[in-house]
Amino acid sequence: MTLFEAEQIDKLFPGVRALDGVTLRLEAGSVHALLGENGAGKSTLIKVITGLYKPDGGRLLLDGQEVQFGSPHESASAGIGVVHQERNLIPGFTVGENILLQKLPTSRGLVDRGRIRSEAARWLGELDLDIDPDKPVTELSVAQAQLVEIAKALSVESRVLLLDEPTASITPNEAERLFRVVDKLKNDGRSVLFVSHKLEEVFQICDTVTVLRDGASVLESGALSDLTRDQVVDLMVGRVHEALTLPRRTVAADAEPLLELTGVGTATGHTDVDLKVRPGEIVGLYGLVGAGRSELAKALLGLDRITAGEVRVRGQVVRIKNVRDALKTYKIGYVTENRKEEGVFLEQSVARNIAVTVWDRLRKALGHVPFLRYVPKKAETAIVADYVEQLGIRIASPEQLAGTLSGGNQQKVSLAKWLAAKTEILIIDEPTVGIDVRTKDAFHTLIWDLAANGLAILLITSDLPEMITLADRVVVMRDHRVRGEVANDHDYDTMSQQVIRLIHAERTTAA
Ligand SMILES: Nc1ncnc2c1ncn2[C@@H]1O[C@H](COP(=O)(O)OP(=O)(O)OP(=O)(O)O)[C@@H](O)[C@H]1O
Ligand SMILES: [Mg+2]
């Protein structure tokens, strides 16, 4: 039985036809995948369905009846729940308040704190999450925030649930919990739409699939059981896609590390962290959500306090003050996982975003012109064009505001910015979250090339295949400590077993 249908939807933006006659059908008791490369139109379709965008053509049908949603509030009341790709938690509120925002429990006209706590705890419990409902959302990690968003969408108990890359920033362990809930919803006769660039997940939980390419559907409601992974990728890409194989690099084991940590402790709870990254080496940092990987990167960059031990850059003990200091004084680049708040200036053009880290260099190259405050447009345009091309950033023009790019394309801008900066040490946190298959290969090649050119790279990723493609060694963290190290033998099975064994070894506290 068809619960919901979007029929022949068109949506135009200045310079792009984001959706071109797209039809999507959601059946009761089934999970439907919506796939396509970055910028294909997936999020736009979801925003049209929830009433955030007004379509320029086509119609929406719920239970066979035509509906028009003037706002997300109206679609929510009609039983359509959503987890948007961008995080939407409200900063001044607690976890519990955010989860129940759409229907805050009240008693005698006042917000009922006790019930907020107990109901929020119930939804968090559905996902096996151990997060205090009274915690302010500003204290959550990126992954926790994503899980809270999911709990929030579940709490509406909608008949149709739209999930736009809900697993982008969480590890497979957390994703499994979500999938158990999705399974329950499905058995309950509800309908779930699932957007993800992680195709293993898609094949694991989805029944049917719609594939978009450049705003048009190239496959409508196909059965996933009839398709292979390669076929799906070819449909998205529009031609036969070859899997990427990168040659092995050799790292001089006796080279002096560019970055070295000894016995480092931090205000966020790390103890005794030892870590070395040599020139030409990619060191992977793996662990479950909450293991303290991103927090370690932040402490290194002066964003959190280091309370013990030593950080050395090129052999010198250093204390980095902030991200700017890291870049200017030590040539360390930092690609944060928190793209929306820290990675890109959403209100600025794509061109400005990419050029921002290279202004100093550009100014020097142009000679010491006194009081030169702006980089000539031509120089900026040349750099930007280069990266737009290399990374295949999908833009209407370099002047397009970064905030109007698709999620994956924003990601590319944030990486391009650091590539353009010519650093010697690069700390990269979850570089390919929300990146489509083809671009992922381009990213991997770029990162590999940087290492081959002698950069020292610390790579934080929850994507195990990515870790195995890129890292020379994988350092495993748990509970803010290094638990061990695995040399990469490029065999997925042995590597994943070894890494997972380290994560679970002598486990003391639950995640
Ligand atoms: N508010 C907007 N203003 C202008 N253009 C927009 C806006 N929102 C989306 N677009 C454009 O519409 C196209 C489709 O974007 P959309 O966000 O739907 O892609 P997506 O399939 O969700 O990609 P991703 O996998 O990167 O999330 C892109 O070219 C994007 O730049
Ligand atoms: Mg999207």
Tell me what pLDDT residue 240 has.
Answer: 78
Ligand 1 atom nearest 400 alpha carbon:
4
Q: Which DSSP string do the residues of 308-329 spell out, in sequence order?
A: EEEEEETTEE----SHHHHHHH
- The whole-angstrom separation of Cα 64 and Cα 159 is 14
313 Cβ below 6 A of ligand 1: no
- The DSSP symbol for 436 reads -
**Beta strands 425-429; 332-335: pairing state:** parallel
Over the Cα atoms of the chain, what is R_g? Answer: 23
Closest by CA position to 270, among listed 250, 247, 287: 287
394 Cβ below 6 A of ligand 1: yes
CA atoms within 13 Å, Cβ hemisphere of 200: 9
CB atoms within 10 A of CB 456: 28
Tell me what pLDDT residue 87 has.
Answer: 81
85 Cβ below 6 A of ligand 1: yes
195 alpha carbon to ligand 1 midpoint, in Å? 14
Tell me what pLDDT residue 493 has.
Answer: 84
CB atoms within 10 A of CB 263: 11
Residue type, position 322, single letter: N
| Ligand located closest to 15 CA | 1
Rounded to 5°, the CA angle 198-282-323 comes to 90
**Which residue, by CA, sits nearest to atom 28 of ligand 1?**
39
**Residue 253 burial by CB count (10 A; 0-12/13-18/19+): exposed, middle or buried?**
exposed
- The whole-angstrom separation of Cα 204 and Cα 471 is 26
Q: What contacts 321, CB < 8 A, 6 or more positions away?
A: 302
448 alpha carbon to ligand 2 midpoint, in Å? 26
CA distances from 75 to 33, 140, 225, 249, 267 (A): 20, 28, 31, 52, 44
- The whole-angstrom separation of Cα 417 and Cα 55 is 34
414 Cβ below 6 A of ligand 1: no
407 alpha carbon to ligand 1 midpoint, in Å? 7
Ligand 1 atom nearest 434 alpha carbon:
25
Q: Please, are residues 502 and 484 in contact by the beta-carbon 8 Å criterion?
A: yes
| Ligand located closest to 83 CA | 2
Q: Which DSSP string do the residues of 164-189 spell out, in sequence order?
A: ESTTTTS-HHHHHHHHHHHHHHHHTT
Residue type, position 340, single letter: K
Ligand 1 atom nearest 47 alpha carbon:
18
| Ligand located closest to 40 CA | 1
Rounded to 5°, the CA angle 319-344-352 comes to 105
Closest by CA position to 18, among listed 78, 60, 70, 58: 58
Element (H, E) at 17: strand 16-27
**Which residue, by CA, sits nearest to atom 6 of ligand 1?**
404
18 Cβ below 6 A of ligand 1: yes
164 alpha carbon to ligand 2 midpoint, in Å? 7
3-class DSSP assignment, residue 34: strand
Structural tokens at position 238: 């529009």
Residue spans of beta strands (DSSP E) within 90-140: 106-107, 110-111
Residue spans of beta strands (DSSP E) within 68-115: 80-83, 106-107, 110-111
44 alpha carbon to ligand 1 midpoint, in Å? 6
Note if the pTM is more than 0.75.
Answer: yes
Tell me what pLDDT residue 231 has.
Answer: 94
Rounded to 5°, the CA angle 505-506-510 comes to 95
**Which residue, by CA, sits nearest to atom 8 of ligand 1?**
404
Closest by CA position to 49, among listed 27, 31, 26, 28: 26
Provide the CATH number for the domain formed by 2-237 in this structure. Answer: 3.40.50.300
Q: Which of 11, 12, 16 to mutate to test the pocket of ligand 1 (most atoms within 8 A of CB)?
A: 16
- The whole-angstrom separation of Cα 302 and Cα 482 is 20
CA atoms within 13 Å, Cβ hemisphere of 228: 5
Closest by CA position to 477, among listed 345, 287, 253: 287
Ligand 1 atom nearest 410 alpha carbon:
26
3-class DSSP assignment, residue 401: strand
Structural tokens at position 399: 């002047």
Q: What contacts 93, CB < 8 A, 6 or more positions away?
A: 101, 136, 137
Tell me what pLDDT residue 363 has.
Answer: 58
Q: Please, are residues 61 and 49 in contact by the beta-carbon 8 Å criterion?
A: no
CA atoms within 13 Å, Cβ hemisphere of 435: 25
Please state which CATH class domain 259-503 belongs to: alpha beta
406 Cβ below 6 A of ligand 1: yes
Tell me what pLDDT residue 367 has.
Answer: 55
Q: What is the mean pLDDT of each run of 10 residues along the chain (511 residues)?
A: 96 93 97 96 97 96 96 92 89 92 81 89 88 92 87 88 91 86 92 95 97 96 94 90 82 90 95 96 89 93 94 96 90 81 79 74 55 64 83 85 87 81 89 86 89 94 89 93 90 85 66 38
CA distances from 305 to 145, 294, 311, 429 (A): 23, 14, 12, 19
46 Cβ below 6 A of ligand 1: no
Q: Which residue spans of the chain are classified as CATH 3.40.50.300?
A: 2-237, 259-503
44 Cβ below 6 A of ligand 1: yes
CA atoms within 13 Å, Cβ hemisphere of 303: 12
Structural tokens at position 152: 């929030």
- The DSSP symbol for 93 reads S
